Amino acid sequence: MRQSLDCSLDPRQGELDVASEISMSVDSPRALTVLLLIQYEEFDQLVSLDIDPIHYDCVDSFRKDYLCTKVLSKSLNLPTSFDLKAEALKSFYKGEQQCLETNRALTGSDRPQAVINDLKQIIYSIVGSLSRRDLDFVSNACRHGPGATVGTAGSGSVPSDKYRDTPTLTCSMIPYSRSLMGDRWIGQFGSLSVVEGNKFTTVPKSAKTDRGICIEPGVNLYCQLGIGSLIRARLRKFGVDLNDQQHNRNLAAQAAEKGLATIDLSLASDTLSKVLVYQLMPDDWFELLDLSRSPTTTLPDGSVVTLEKFSSMGNGYTFELESLIFLAIAIYATGGYNGSEVTVYGDDIIIPQSATTRCIDTLNLVGFSVNRSKSFLAGRFFESCGSDWFDNQPVRPFFLRQPPSSKVPFSLYVCNRIRLYARVIGVGGCDSWLRALWLKYYAKVPKQWKLPVPPELGDTGVIVSHAEHKCPRAVNGLEGNQVKGTILRTSSSPKFDNPLLLLRLSQKAIVLQAPKSHYTGLIPDAGKGHDFQSQIPQHLSDSISGNREIVRGFLGRPRTFKTIVRWPNDYLWV
């Protein structure tokens, strides 16, 4: 009986019920629109709804209508008519066509050579020339990513498979494979697997489209991540820290009073053209980037496309490279760098409003397109890095996007999304406007999951305030409270061979080189929209020490864990 109360038995209906109840409590014309679309099952229109902040003069009314409009916009369960994978492939072709036009424009007789020269000089002032020390840095920073590569599957694999499966690489990487991989790793294989390039695939993005990404060859990605680390270090030294989005969020919050604009781009990674990177980067940097780049993409139908873009999402240095180029454009548009008014994080750009026209003109000139629906050049609403602000007040909605395969109870998922959202919009605590809805779904949480946890432990229990948890104090002089939570049991695979030994050695090297904050935290900030269940602290998961490794993609029955945490004091309903 208790289990039947849980909406996880029908996630689609559960999401529609939540959206309907929110809309009924808001009671506005936009809320009525949402209710009617749900009632008549017009799901295409529902997930395509947009909202214009210029039509609002009250932060509270905008915040509520914004939530009604967007709460289902990223749902993975609604039966829309959109072919999500086809939409992602269409975006891929659109990006390629845009890059082709940019490549032709930048090599034609009317190329904007003066602008290119200025941008190149700015980039050189940030990254400088490559030295032997820089190449040693890249070599030491090379690492494997957590996802799939060409030749190594993601789901169902274990981490040491990156050292067990035959390494894949492009022709340009062959002369450098031994120095990058080392004798122990490369010595396990009679030969390496040479491939043409990467492979196109998709991952969930929204209810209207998937996100197109490219799976890179293993050795290429291993090197790309090292190069990305070097660019990231150069940007940090210059004043832009890509390890922290908070600076962007702070500036977006202050944009109205400081006269700033937030600019977002369409298909930013897919429109980073080959010729643009060639013309902007110093020669030694371009050669380094080009060595590990994939020149082609294999599409799902087996066809191979020679890329007009320089790198795609999935490449280990794309994020850092595009951040560098957009920073140069922002500096060029403003006439100089001012960390209190100019910043970038990927394609999230913040600059003074007085420089927006020049910045957008420069972006268009070198082949990028501004996303007009997500760029805010003036007014009362601004957004950057997943934070939305109206009159300097947070208004970011929460989204119901639990995948159908999730084994976390839907009622628990909803409870925690509501609580975290109520804390963001509340003053000194959680806005009690949503308390009735939270109580309704709290009553449906299965007993095993109905454990009070602080926000940093995410969906391992029900997030509550310090005044509600009633968890005993830690003993033996330890600070904090003894907390129980629930996690899904993982499957582990016993291994004991050279690949596992290489993995363990690489993990030790990463820990020794990383800053202290890199490996001492429990879970990233709960307010950043992370997938909590996949980021449970290592000491709370099944052991991966010794000769056992966690198998990706396998989750079994839930089990209870215990830990000691300090409780925050601002999640009380007020």
Query: Model confidence at 245, in pLDDT bands (50, 70, 90)?
Result: very high
Question: Between residues 375 and 6, which one has the greater pLDDT?
Answer: 375
The phi, psi pair for 497, rounded to 5°, reads -155, 180
Are 42 and 141 part of one and the same domain?
no
In a domain, 539, yes or no: yes
> What φ, ψ does residue 82 adopt, rounded to 5°?
-70, 135
**Number of domains within the chain:** 3
pLDDT at 562: 93
Q: Are residues 332 and 426 in the same domain?
A: no
**Structural domain for 326, as ranges:** 84-390
pLDDT higher than threshold 80 for residue 519? no
CA distance 315 to 231: 14
**Average per-residue pLDDT in the chain?**
89
Write the pLDDT tens digit of every residue in 195-209.
999 999 999 999 999
- 355 in the same domain as 232: yes
Instruction: Report which of residues 491 and 130 the model is more confident about.
Output: 130
> What single-letter amino acid sits at 414?
V
Residue 314 located in a structural domain = yes
pLDDT in tens, 367-398: 999 999 999 999 999 999 999 999 999 999 99
Q: Are residues 486 and 338 in the same domain?
A: no
- Going by pLDDT thresholds of 50, 70 and 90, the confidence category of residue 510 is low
pLDDT at residue 47 above 70?
yes
- Domain final residue, candidates 390, 424, 450: 390
- pLDDT higher than 90, residue 549: no
If asked whether residues 212 and 347 sit together in one domain, one would say yes
Q: Is-contact 557 489, C-beta < 8 A?
A: yes
pLDDT digits (tens, 9 = 90+) for 323-339: 999 999 999 999 988 88
Whether 138 and 217 share a structural domain: yes
Q: Report if residue 547 sits inside a domain.
A: yes
Tell me the angle at which helices 11-26 and 29-39 cross, rounded to the nearest 10 degrees.
Answer: 150
The pLDDT, as a whole number, for residue 417 is 97
Please indicate, yes or no, if residue 570 is contained in any of the structural domains.
yes
What pLDDT does residue 547 have?
A: 76
Whether 466 maps to a domain, the answer reads yes
pLDDT of residue 42: 97
DSSP annotation of 165 reads S
Residue 535 placed within a domain: yes
- Whole-number pLDDT of residue 55: 94
- Range from 269-278, 392-401, 495-504 carrying the lowest mean pLDDT: 495-504
- Does residue 168 have a pLDDT over 80? yes
Same domain, 219 and 331: yes
Q: What integer pLDDT is reported at residue 261 of this predicted model?
A: 98
Same domain, 149 and 195: yes
Look at residue 540 in the predicted model and tell me its pLDDT. Answer: 38
Q: Contact at 8 Å (CB) between 462 and 453?
A: yes
- Mean pLDDT, residues 26-48: 96
**Is the distance from CB of 483 to CB of 562 less than 8 angstroms?**
yes
pLDDT at 533 over 50: no
pLDDT of residue 354 exceeding 70? yes
pLDDT at 350 (0 to 100): 97
pLDDT band at 264 (very low <50, low <70, confident <90, very high): very high
Range of weakest confidence among 82-91, 169-178, 334-343: 334-343
- pTM: predicted TM-score of the whole model, two decimal places: 0.91
pLDDT number for residue 517 = 38
In this structure, is residue 4 part of a structural domain?
no
User: Are 423 and 451 in a shared domain?
Assistant: yes
- Give the pLDDT of residue 522: 29
Task: Look at 237 and 154; give whichever has higher pLDDT.
Answer: 237
Q: Which of 368, 38, 87 is CA-nearest to residue 206? A: 87
Q: Give the least confident one: 105-109, 282-286, 362-366, 548-552.
A: 548-552
Segment 165-168 long-range contacts (CB within 8 Å, at least 24 positions apart): 165/218, 166/191, 166/192, 166/193, 167/192, 167/193, 167/218, 167/219, 168/192, 168/193, 168/194, 168/195, 168/217, 168/218, 168/219, 168/220
Same domain? For 68 and 108 the reply is no
- The proportion of the chain whose per-residue pLDDT surpasses 70, expressed as a percent, equals 92
Q: Using CA atoms in the order 88, 90, 96, 102, what is the torsion angle rounded to 10 degrees?
A: -110
pLDDT at 512 over 70: no
Residues 129 and 195 grouped into a single domain? yes
Give the model's pLDDT for residue 4.
39
The stretch 427-456 carries a mean pLDDT of 94
